[in-house]
Amino acid sequence: MGQVRKGEQFAGLSTALMTPFKNGQVDEAAFKKLIDLQVEAGADGIVPCGTTGESPTLTHEEHDRVIELACQHSAGRLKVIAGTGSNSTAEAIRLTKAAEKAGADGALVVAPYYNKPMMDGMYAHYKAIAESTSLPIVVYNIPGRTGKNIEPDVICKMGEIKNIVAVKESTGSMDQSSQILAGSDLTILSGDDSLTLPLMALGGSGVISVVGNIVPKDVKAMIDAFKAGKLEEAQVWHYRLFNFCRDLLSLSTNPIPVKAAMQLLGRDTGEVRLPLLPLDDKLMASLKKTLTTYGLM
């Protein structure tokens, strides 16, 4: 079925893990429980220190420790794709090397934000990171947060570099994904839960999921149904998850509503770091309604 793609070791469901906090510190015990939850649900991988993991407010020491802990506690039960991106190429290299030393299976490298490099600078950034490590690199393209899209022809050119193997595609553009799939042998992973099934229909291989923190078994069931050729079953899961994601993630900036949901379900303190703030009482009531409608409360 279709072309063999470079990053298929990261196919399926990888959950973009939250970083639990308690009294301002990383809650390591809670983090281990989140990993165990993913193992029990049959997830294929986890992504520590991504957007959902509040990587922008982790100290360098915390960042390294969270990745180290993810690798240690996963103990080969899951793939660990460590978030190691930065808008500083030197810092991204340092983080990636630390993740490799910790035992990560791959690195998720977000496009350099704020600097807004030209496309040749974008390419040079990823090339320098890839050449500094033997880890497989997943390019994370999320222009809504970084301020600049990595153009698809540049991503295809990146795909010629041996250890750049996949793209976490968060542009929301089916045309961009189609161009990458047609023009390279890169694996595409959805960066938006609502687009996982449509992207897989184009030739995508799975998702790095936010809602997988809450309902990993359901996301996995949708992916497995599609892979087994059970399209109608996959569609049922898609629309169920689509409505849930829409109602959940529209409440506030990720990961605020996800952490609040995990708090209500007894899996996390719900604590976020400034400049993020917790949901107010009105939004919390909406969240409870959403969780009840889905059957979680």
Question: What is d(CA 51, CA 209) in angstroms, rounded to the nearest whole number?
Answer: 11
- Across the chain, the runs of DSSP E, i.e. the strands, are 12-16, 21-22, 25-26, 45-47, 79-83, 106-110, 137-141, 164-169, 187-190, 206-209
For 13, the 3-state DSSP assignment is strand
Question: What is d(CA 234, CA 211) in angstroms, rounded to the nearest whole number?
Answer: 16
What type of residue sits at position 273? R
Question: What is d(CA 203, CA 223) in angstroms, rounded to the nearest whole number?
Answer: 12
Question: What is d(CA 38, CA 212) in angstroms, rounded to the nearest whole number?
Answer: 8
Question: What is d(CA 262, CA 297) in angstroms, rounded to the nearest whole number?
Answer: 11
Residue 129 and residue 96 in contact, taking contact as beta carbons nearer than 8 Å: yes
Residue 157 annotated in active site: no
Residue 168 annotated in active site: yes
Question: What is d(CA 226, CA 209) in angstroms, rounded to the nearest whole number?
Answer: 16
- Of these residues, 123, 126, 140, 294, which one is catalytic? 140
Question: What is d(CA 291, CA 255) in angstroms, rounded to the nearest whole number?
Answer: 16
- Of these residues, 123, 126, 168, 220, which one is catalytic? 168
Residues assigned a catalytic role: 140, 168
